[in-house]
Amino acid sequence: MACASVASATEVGINVTTTTGFSAPKVTAALRASKPAWVRVFIVWGVIEPQPGVYVTQQIQTYQQFFDSLPAGTKVDADVVGTPAWANGGSSSIATPPVNDSAYATFLKHLVNAFHGRVNAWEIWNEEASPNWWTGTPAQFASLLAAAYPAIKSADPRAMVILGASDPTFLGQLYTDGAKDDFDAVAVHTDTSCDVASPYDYEYNQDTTVVNQYFFLGFTGIHALMAANGDGAKPIYMTEIGWSTTPAECTTGAWAGQKLAGVTPQVQATFLQQAYHCLAQPQFSYVKAAMWFELYNVGTTTDQLDNYGLLNADFSAKPSFDAFEQESRNGDQLTAPCGDFNGPAIKIVHPTPDLRYSGKLRITVTASSPANGVRWIRIRLSKNTLVQFVSKTFPAKFSGSLVWGSASKLTPGPHWITVTVTDKLGNMSSKRVRIWHVGTTKGAKRHRHVTHAALQAFGVALAPPSL
């Protein structure tokens, strides 16, 4: 993970709200100054097609004019969401699935033709794993995809069809429901509510080495899931990344009332640089674009959603706008590691390699992890004997030591002692040393084995053989 940075292969993009921003001269000026490779917009189905087959031409023209105002070569991602009441059985919630998927497909085909190939990617829905955006089942969404994909491709074969951002569980179910052939790429969102952690920070899901989805690097788990389903060659598009600059307290999730919901404007700029730096690493080349959410603050309150912008609500620039412009024009300039995925360093102090011994054996191990702290040290003495040292404070350096009396019972010849260590996050490393038993010495019977009481005296938890 500590590869030297190169110019980012992940293209830089921005979300632009489809309201006053389309006509604001300062928005146009900001886009021309920063020259993002991608611009993402939302298109709400019912706003353009309020009745079956009735299209609001003025709305379509507004989008066309905005697209025409973009710097030459800017690619467009259009996210089409929201079922109108006439198409969802009369529900007032636009998160309700359409009764007939063909209605959505027909609408998409009309848009593709209306924009004459100006839209490069069509994103099917938004965060459909959330009931705020989709109240149907994964199977219903898979059916929607199956209708949308050929409708878009028939009108513009070159257009990319992006699956809206889904969490791992929802995405896994889509694969089960046969959706694999109905999208070209997967969208990922990292603008998590109350997120104040650096892109470099992460935690694994319990008992796994899969990064939790609520950390920036959680996209690695999505890609692993794609690869497990034969889709490893398909790209990921981060259609929303971002950190809010609200000074308000977090009010949602497990951290409600325990931390702030946002970061300072300067930290927002720093995290933006770090995020694009992470995506510049060659192992993440499958992430083709990352689109900041969003260009400007959509409100003047301290609500978290009102404060994701690179620009304030009055279109004055935050420090993050300059950082974004530098990323877009000049690429990644950072060199630090993106996350520390290295397991702790292990030093087997004793026994030394190829030590020849008889009788009892002294074993001393030291592990160090300055960045993440050491969680535990496990020493496998033999097939059925495992000793574990556990720390609850995750020190940067941690040691374990014991005297193994039963070493005298080993058959003469070579044997291996294996040491495994994990850090606080779950990163693991191992090391082993070979020893040679040359027989017992006089009096060795007094040290046949380390008793349970003796192990407790050393602060050791003896694990069962099954571990």
Q: Which helix (H) or strand (E) holds 366?
A: strand 361-368
Contact 221, 210 (CB under 8 A): yes
**Whole-prediction pTM value?**
0.84
Contact 10, 328 (CB under 8 A): no
Digitized pLDDT (tens) for each residue of the chain, 467 residues in all: 333 333 447 999 999 987 666 778 899 999 999 999 999 999 999 999 999 999 999 999 999 999 999 999 999 999 999 999 999 999 999 999 999 999 999 999 999 999 999 999 999 999 999 999 999 999 999 999 999 999 999 999 999 999 999 999 999 999 999 999 999 999 999 999 999 999 999 989 988 889 999 999 999 999 999 999 999 999 999 999 999 999 999 998 888 889 999 999 999 999 999 999 999 999 999 999 999 999 999 999 999 999 999 999 999 999 999 999 999 999 999 998 898 888 999 999 999 999 999 999 999 999 999 989 999 999 999 988 999 999 989 999 999 999 999 999 999 999 999 999 999 988 999 999 999 999 754 444 443 344 444 444 344 444 333 32
Query: What are the structure tokens assigned to 167, written together?
Result: 């969490």
The CA–CA distances, whole Å, from 2 to 49, 88, 323 equal: 50, 50, 22
Residues 303 and 403 occupy one common structural domain: no
Is residue 201 domain-resident?
yes
User: For the chain, how many structural domains are there in total?
Assistant: 2
Contact 180, 226 (CB under 8 A): no
Spatial distance between the Cα atoms of 79 and 119, rounded to a whole number of angstroms: 10
Q: Which of 278, 303, 330 is the last residue of a domain?
A: 330
Question: What is the identity of the amino acid at 271?
Answer: F
Q: Which helix (H) or strand (E) holds 238?
A: strand 236-241
Is residue 385 domain-resident?
yes
Spatial distance between the Cα atoms of 398 and 295, rounded to a whole number of angstroms: 46
Spatial distance between the Cα atoms of 291 and 276, rounded to a whole number of angstroms: 10
Residues 187 and 210 occupy one common structural domain: yes
Residues 150 and 266 occupy one common structural domain: yes
Q: Which helix (H) or strand (E) holds 451?
A: none
Residues 326 and 359 occupy one common structural domain: no
Contact 118, 67 (CB under 8 A): yes
Can you give the pLDDT at residue 451?
Answer: 44
Burial 27-39 (b: 16+ CB within 10 A, else e): bbebbeebebbbb
Residues 195 and 304 occupy one common structural domain: yes
Can you give the pLDDT at residue 18?
Answer: 74
Spatial distance between the Cα atoms of 374 and 425, rounded to a whole number of angstroms: 9
The CATH number of whichever domain residue 395 belongs to comes to 2.60.40.10
The CATH number of whichever domain residue 140 belongs to comes to 3.20.20.80
- Cα torsion for 338, 390, 221, 256, to the nearest 10°? -90
3 state DSSP class of 448 = coil
Show the domain range for 320.
Answer: 11-330
Residue position matching structure tokens 């571990």: 467
Residues 316 and 391 occupy one common structural domain: no
Residues 310 and 458 occupy one common structural domain: no
Residues 303 and 351 occupy one common structural domain: no
What strands, in cross-sheet order, belong to the sheet with 355-357? 355-357, 428-437, 413-423, 374-382, 385-390, 461-463
Spatial distance between the Cα atoms of 251 and 327, rounded to a whole number of angstroms: 32
Spatial distance between the Cα atoms of 268 and 290, rounded to a whole number of angstroms: 16
Residues 39 and 168 occupy one common structural domain: yes
